[in-house]
Amino acid sequence: MERIERTKLASIAARGVAAFAFCLPLAANAQTPAEKLIAEGHWKRARAIVETRLHEAPNDALANYLLSQIRNAFGDHSTPLALAEKAEAADPHTAKYHRQHAEVLGVMAQHANVLQQLILARRFHKEINTAIQLDARDTQALGDLLEFYLLAPEIAGGDPEKAEETAKRIGQIDPAEGYLAEARIAEFQKKPAAIEAALKQAAAVQPPSYRARIALARFYLEPAHLSLEKAESPAKEALALDSTRIDAYNLLAEIYANRSDWNALDALLAQSTKEVPDDATPYFRAAERLLAAQREAARAERYLRTYLGQEPEGNEPRLSEAHWRLGHALELQGRNPAAISEWQEAVKLDPQSPAERDLKRVKNSATIPAAKF
């Protein structure tokens, strides 16, 4: 039996290694303050609003729906399904509640065995179809359906041709999102030239799309077609469109760290701290790039300690990953006992952390060889 790919059966609000921004639809038709915050990546701020509302009205459908999204973003795998089902039961005629139910099932499929994945895929298909029947213009639900057609096995309803039809439907509603959907299909087909062409078209659509520019910049930061110059322009354009969102800062931090442009990097980090004080992810991204090149370890250490100074934002690296990276920064400086301490903390926070491999490496070697990060 074919295994459903471990990427995005549904529109999972998470950004993994080498994931494209166009794979990550945001909240469709955001209207309430909390929904707008979620759409812009401000999960902690949204959580404060939603938790207050649920304290006042535990059965509020919208609040349960939003908290399901928020819990997913912070890596909770135990409560989002019940919250989504509660929202749907309270108001079965609202499309986005069925969409969220489907997306939670997609997240669950990532951690399931083959048989469970097949069952979850069918449940997902039912819920996402219901969402689209209730709101045929919900581009996020259509994006979820596109992912299903690409990733699900044929026995569960997967059909790449239907994915292309769905991309056309998205484009009829929102041209920029339609091009992003085409880029997603091209990425699935491993056609980089087609990906680039579709992303450029998305970025050219008016009114300008922040997401499209972020997607194009991220494409140029992928190792297979790395171009710092090509990545910088759309990232700067995105920042000019909205300086209160973190994505553009993250990308520019990677670019400047790659270039060793410390003046530009420090200025950018200062600006991000001022504009988005509750999200230190640009510090993490800069450190990540430096450690990948095994240079400027002290600077990487400083950035990671800044990142560890507050709770991570939703869908951003967890504290365990930051401790793991900090261990690498310390190891590069020859501070091996301190590195071991960070790796132990990473494993304490997440028993599945790759830091466990570093601890075994240290245990099996009298001297710590240079690690590949």
Task: Note whether 346 and 256 are same-domain residues.
Answer: yes
pLDDT-derived band at 14 (thresholds 50, 70, 90) equals very low
Q: Which of 242, 267, 290 lies at the terminal end of a domain, its last residue?
A: 242
Task: Note whether 166 and 17 are same-domain residues.
Answer: yes
* Total domains in the fold of the chain: 3
Task: Note whether 14 and 149 are same-domain residues.
Answer: yes
Task: Note whether 201 and 282 are same-domain residues.
Answer: no
Task: Note whether 164 and 206 are same-domain residues.
Answer: no
pLDDT-derived band at 7 (thresholds 50, 70, 90) equals very low
Q: Which of 173, 192, 219 lies at the terminal end of a domain, its last residue?
A: 173
Q: Give mean pLDDT, residues 145-170.
A: 96
**Average pLDDT of the chain, as a whole number:** 91
pLDDT at 372: 56
pLDDT at 366: 54
Task: Note whether 7 and 152 are same-domain residues.
Answer: yes
C-alpha to C-alpha distance for 290 and 265, rounded to whole angstroms: 12
216, 199 Cβ separation under 8 angstroms: yes
Task: Note whether 58 and 164 are same-domain residues.
Answer: yes
The CATH number of the domain holding residue 258 is: 1.25.40.10
Domain that holds residue 142: 1-173
Task: Note whether 102 and 233 are same-domain residues.
Answer: no
Task: Note whether 263 and 128 are same-domain residues.
Answer: no
Task: Note whether 235 and 299 are same-domain residues.
Answer: no
Cis upstream peptide for 58 (omega within 30°): no
Q: Which of 173, 196, 231 lies at the terminal end of a domain, its last residue?
A: 173
Q: Give mean pLDDT, residues 246-252.
A: 98
Whole-number percent of the chain with pLDDT over 70: 90
Task: Note whether 207 and 294 are same-domain residues.
Answer: no
pLDDT digits (tens, 9 = 90+) for 191-210: 999 999 999 999 999 999 99
The CATH number of the domain holding residue 202 is: 1.25.40
**Burial classification of residue 233, based on how many CB atoms lie within 10 Å of its CB (0-12 exposed, 13-18 middle, 19 or more buried):** middle
C-alpha to C-alpha distance for 88 and 40, rounded to whole angstroms: 24
Q: Give mean pLDDT, residues 176-182.
A: 98
C-alpha to C-alpha distance for 171 and 318, rounded to whole angstroms: 35
Whole-number percent of the chain with pLDDT over 90: 87
pLDDT-derived band at 326 (thresholds 50, 70, 90) equals very high
Alpha carbon 223 to chain centroid, angstroms: 18
Task: Note whether 367 and 256 are same-domain residues.
Answer: yes
Alpha carbon 364 to chain centroid, angstroms: 35
pLDDT at 154: 92
Which residue did the predictor score with more confidence, 54 or 18? 54
C-alpha to C-alpha distance for 148 and 9, rounded to whole angstroms: 5
